[in-house]
């Protein structure tokens, strides 16, 4: 893995000269000099205002409701219709910078870190935005996850012979990846009657992500987080419909839809043929934003997805990767509410 290259950002400090007690005989020259210096200061201020930075810290709590679909293969909760839980889940910090390149282009950069109940990660991103409507970006990340014994496995390589993950200890293995993305912003409000009820924006996007796990070979399935993955490329095509609401506490309603999966260039061992690793997953996620105050914000969301349907309705949760797919089914596994506090 190549090392990250960080560029130093410098902000010029602006100064202006103050004149005091100007003689009357020098009034004309002083006025001209002052005007020239004022123009210079204004020009420098305009240049400086094209470069913006910010540092952000967020602490996130989450409340989950796991549905029966998520519980039906649980050893102790398989008869429960749902199961609620809540916990603090993550701390995120990032540094962001923006630079206007003329009137049409904006270059954005970000470096950040996150610590959650699942993992510790570092990420960076750079985006070129054109007229605030088109964007082209690339991001990179590296992280390592925690395991909680037999209760929860978030990192390891799947062992098909044993039907379970070979767990790796935190910081002994890492997942890293690079994501390429393109996106657009279509302000539908420009084509609708002007009203507080017609502020709608559509944001289509596409991304391709290369991921790799340091302890996995080609063809193996691994976990570093909450999802199954493999060394290679995956894709996602979709978009988000953003409806800005005229309510102070509920300012925005969003619906995200997309399809994703692994590219055929990503190889899998033959033992996973029945599982169908190239299966296309469709998802629809409605989201409602909540604004408590300037520091606290929240989101309520549910993910409805088209997932694999297996020949066996009940199976050991650790043996999902060995099941035979016979079709597909729609449903939701979790309904979630998150609340974040800015620092």
47-66: pLDDT as tens digits: 567 899 999 999 999 999 99
Measured between alpha carbons, how far is 293 from 144 in angstroms, rounded to an integer? 34
The strands making up 228-230's β-sheet, listed across from edge to edge, are: 164-167, 155-159, 221-224, 228-230
**Overall pTM surpassing 0.85 (yes/no):** no
Question: pLDDT category, 289, cuts 50, 70, 90?
Answer: very high
- What's the pLDDT tens digit per position in 157-182? 999 999 999 999 999 999 999 999 99
Residue 214 · residue 174 · CB < 8 Å = yes
Kindly tell me if the per-residue pLDDT of 305 is higher than 90.
Answer: yes
- The continuous run of DSSP H or E covering 200 comes out as strand 200-213
Between residues 206 and 36, the one the model is more confident about: 206
Question: pLDDT category, 75, cuts 50, 70, 90?
Answer: confident
3-state secondary structure of 135: strand
What is the per-residue pLDDT for 48?
Answer: 60
- How many angstroms separate the Cα of 288 from the Cα of each of 244, 304, 334? 10, 15, 15
| CA-angle at 152, arms to 114 and 314, nearest 5° | 130
In angstroms, the first-to-last Cα distance of the chain is: 33
3-state secondary structure of 160: coil
Retrieve residue 323's tokens.
């099941």
> In the predicted model, what is the mean pLDDT of residues 100-123?
97
Question: pLDDT category, 287, cuts 50, 70, 90?
Answer: very high
What are the φ and ψ backbone dihedral angles of 320, each rounded to 5 degrees? -60, -40
CATH superfamily of 53-342: monomeric porin ompg (2.40.160.40)
């Amino acid at each position: 893995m190549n090392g990250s290259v960080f560029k130093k950002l410098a902000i010029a400090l602006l100064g202006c000269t103050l004149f005091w007690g100007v003689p009357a005989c020098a009034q004309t020259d002083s006025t001209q000099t002052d005007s020239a210096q004022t123009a210079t200061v204004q020009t420098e201020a305009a240049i400086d205002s094209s470069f913006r930075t910010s540092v952000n810290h967020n602490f996130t709590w989450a409340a989950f409701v796991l549905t029966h679909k998520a519980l039906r293969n649980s050893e102790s909760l398989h008869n429960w219709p749902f199961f609620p839980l809540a916990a603090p889940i993550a701390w995120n910090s990032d540094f962001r910078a923006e630079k206007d390149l003329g009137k049409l282009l904006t270059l954005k950069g970000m470096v950040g870190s996150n610590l959650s109940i699942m993992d510790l990660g570092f990420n960076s991103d750079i985006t070129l935005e054109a007229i605030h409507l088109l964007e082209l970006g690339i991001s990179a990340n590296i992280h390592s996850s925690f395991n909680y014994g037999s209760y929860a496995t978030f990192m390891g390589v799947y062992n098909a012979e044993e039907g379970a993950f070979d767990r790796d200890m935190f910081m002994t293995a890492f997942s890293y990846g690079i994501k390429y993305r393109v996106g657009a912003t279509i302000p539908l409000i420009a084509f609708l009657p002007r009203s507080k009820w017609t502020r709608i924006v559509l944001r289509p996007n596409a991304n391709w992500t290369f991921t790799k796990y340091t302890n996995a070979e080609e063809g193996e399935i691994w976990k570093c987080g909450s999802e199954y993955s493999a060394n290679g490329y995956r894709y996602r095509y979709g978009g988000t419909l953003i409806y800005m609401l005229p309510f102070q506490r509920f300012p925005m309603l969003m619906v995200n839809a997309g399809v994703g999966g692994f590219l055929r260039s990503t190889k899998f061992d033959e033992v996973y043929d029945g599982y169908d690793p190239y299966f296309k997953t469709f998802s629809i996620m409605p989201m409602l934003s909540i604004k408590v105050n300037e520091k606290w914000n929240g989101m309520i969301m549910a993910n409805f997805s088209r997932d694999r349907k297996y020949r066996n309705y009940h199976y050991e949760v650790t043996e999902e990767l060995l099941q035979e797919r016979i079709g597909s089914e729609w449903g939701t596994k979790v309904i979630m509410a998150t609340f974040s506090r800015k620092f």
